[in-house]
């Protein structure tokens, strides 16, 4: 594979199998024993553009059942696609000008936004002593306030084991404090109505709702299970893309943007495409960053969501799952990233053998 792509510096694959047995014994006499097995496979590819910019792609597969991992042929196809994308990134132009207008996030990118801007702010954790807030994070004072558009709702349901035929590693029967898992409606029609909490009570939330979770060897604390974003007005991906072209035409802009993947964590797009208003064709670009991509933008600027929810199983000490459809922002700022460029290699790559 490397010999066919001399400009790609490295292409590797890594796999991991993990099995966790968790025992919980509490002062109430509750005893639980839960096991979890996960299988992880990741492709890693990297290269350097002619101007010195480092580029990378790292598609991954994390599942609860071995048979869900891609077959050999499917994996080779994905590996070739990864390499082709890296080569395309090397040739892609750099974002030069600042842009403010519509941006469409694919489900893959939307999952990362939901995890960082919504999921972590739904976790109910006690603030420091003396602080008046109910919890911590951006939603600390947002109880019963609108935090998302009214057409969006969010639930966390760790009892959900599968979604559209895919296993969910964030599911569990009992949390790490011996409390039975519960489905919690945290945001209803845009209004924050609940927090995810464990046995540590919060003001107005005296009892656990089954979300006290612990990494191996760590103390249990509130965390996500299976976070699912739902839209009451779902639209097809084609309709959302058409909406982008219509909006940029109306604003007199030559193009809008579509984000395929993000760098985790952060607001840096890894695969970013210009969507031209003239005919809808796309152009891959690089070297961009989003400005003001925050909870305010989620509340005020998201105007539509897709009917294409994607399962994102997320590794770590506490396995979680995020499921989100495409999200269309009415207005976001895209500008050139302030990134340094590394020195190019002293020698060119070796020539291909004929």
Q: Where are the domains of the chain?
A: 2-91, 93-342
pLDDT > 90? residue 316: no
Confidence of residue 5 (pLDDT cuts 50, 70, 90): low
Q: What CATH number was assigned to the domain covering residues 2-91?
A: 3.30.2290.10
At 139-198, the pLDDT tens digits run 999 999 999 999 999 999 999 999 999 999 999 999 999 899 999 999 999 999 999 999
| 129-135 CB contacts, 8 Å cutoff, 24+ apart | 134/195, 134/202, 134/203, 134/204, 134/205, 135/195, 135/202
| Residue 262 confidence (pLDDT) | 92
> Looking at residue 138, what is its pLDDT?
93
pLDDT at 2: 41
Residue count (the chain): 354
CB-based contacts of 346: which residues, under 8 Å, 6+ apart? none
pTM of the model: 0.90
- What are the pLDDT digits (tens) for 321-351? 999 999 999 999 999 987 666 777 777 777 7
Q: Which residues contact 162 (CB under 8 A, 6 or more apart)?
A: 168
Q: Residue 135 CA to chain centroid, in angstroms?
A: 23
pLDDT value at position 3? Answer: 42
State pLDDT tens for residues 194-251.
999 999 999 899 999 999 999 888 889 999 999 999 999 999 999 999 999 999 999 9
């Amino acid at each position: 594979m490397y010999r066919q792509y001399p400009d790609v510096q490295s292409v590797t694959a890594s796999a991991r199998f993990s099995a966790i047995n968790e025992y919980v014994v509490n002062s109430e006499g509750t005893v639980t024993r839960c096991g979890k097995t996960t299988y992880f496979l990741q492709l890693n590819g990297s290269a350097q553009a002619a101007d010195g910019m480092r580029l990378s792609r790292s598609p991954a597969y994390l599942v609860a059942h071995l048979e869900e991992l891609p077959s050999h042929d499917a994996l080779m196809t994905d590996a070739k696609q990864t390499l082709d994308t890296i080569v395309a990134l090397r040739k892609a132009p750099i974002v030069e000008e600042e842009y403010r207008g519509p941006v469409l996030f694919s489900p893959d990118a939307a999952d990362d936004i939901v995890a960082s801007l919504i999921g972590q702010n739904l976790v109910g954790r006690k603030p420091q002593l003396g602080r008046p807030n109910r919890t911590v994070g951006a939603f600390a004072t947002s109880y019963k306030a609108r935090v998302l558009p009214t057409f969006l709702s969010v639930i966390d349901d760790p009892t959900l084991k599968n979604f559209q035929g895919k296993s969910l590693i964030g599911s569990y029967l009992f949390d790490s404090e011996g409390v039975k898992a519960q489905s919690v409606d945290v945001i209803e029609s845009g209004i924050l109505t609940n927090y995810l909490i464990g046995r540590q009570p919060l003001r107005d939330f005296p009892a656990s709702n089954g979300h006290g979770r612990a990494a191996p060897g760590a103390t249990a604390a509130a965390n996500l299970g299976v976070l699912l974003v739902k839209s009451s007005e779902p639209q097809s991906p084609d309709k959302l893309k058409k909406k982008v072209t219509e909006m940029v035409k109306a604003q007199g802009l030559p193009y809008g943007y579509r984000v395929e993947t993000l760098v985790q964590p952060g607001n840096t797009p890894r695969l970013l495409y210009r969507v031209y208003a003239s005919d809808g064709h796309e152009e891959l670009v690089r070297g961009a960053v989003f400005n003001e991509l925050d909870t305010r933008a989620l509340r005020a600027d998201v105007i539509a969501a897709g009917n294409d929810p994607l399962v994102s199983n997320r590794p770590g000490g506490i396995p979680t799952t995020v499921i989100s459809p495409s999200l269309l922002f009415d207005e976001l700022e895209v500008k050139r990233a302030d990134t340094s460029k590394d020195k190019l290699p002293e020698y060119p790559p070796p020539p291909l053998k004929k």
